[in-house]
Amino acid sequence: MLASVIFASLTVLTFAMAYKYAGALARVRDAREAALEVDAAVRAVIATGDQRKVNVRIPEGYVLSFGDNRITIDGITLPEDGYPLPIVGPELGSGTYVLTISFENGAILVST
């Protein structure tokens, strides 16, 4: 009987730890996807000069920022070698945003 109680407790503990870990991995994946979506839109604006709109969802606990010719979302930086133009935009916390990306005054401008 005691062994069954201990086994059940370990099973519940293992499930709780796995659930928490899976949630953290999902947030990392979502953060990377948001950065990749913005990166694709920035590259399109650089290539064409046309304005782009992109919908992004930034997961809880992450911040998307622009600077040093790069997009950064908590340790994930795109592109590694930077864009050929400066990129300017707001610092965005968790939430869903519609970003407008345009080419203005020799820089890439990101606005909400």
Who wins on pLDDT, 76 or 21? 76
Residue 64 structure tokens: 């998307």
- Direct distance between the N- and C-terminal alpha carbons of the chain, in angstroms, rounded to an integer: 60
Res 18 pLDDT > 60: no
pLDDT (0 to 100) of residue 45: 94
Name the pTM for this structure.
0.78
Contact 22, 15 (CB under 8 A): no
Residue 1 has pLDDT above 90, yes or no: no
Instruction: Indicate if the pLDDT at residue 70 is higher than 80.
Output: yes
- The pLDDT of residue 27 is 85
- For residue 79, which of 42, 50, 27, 31 has the smallest C-alpha distance? 42
- Residue 66 pLDDT: 94
Query: How would residue 52 be classed by pLDDT, with cut points 50, 70 and 90?
Result: very high
Residues 6+ apart with CB under 8 A from 41: 52, 53, 54, 99, 101
Helix, strand, or coil (residue 1):
coil
Percentage, residues of the chain above pLDDT 70: 81
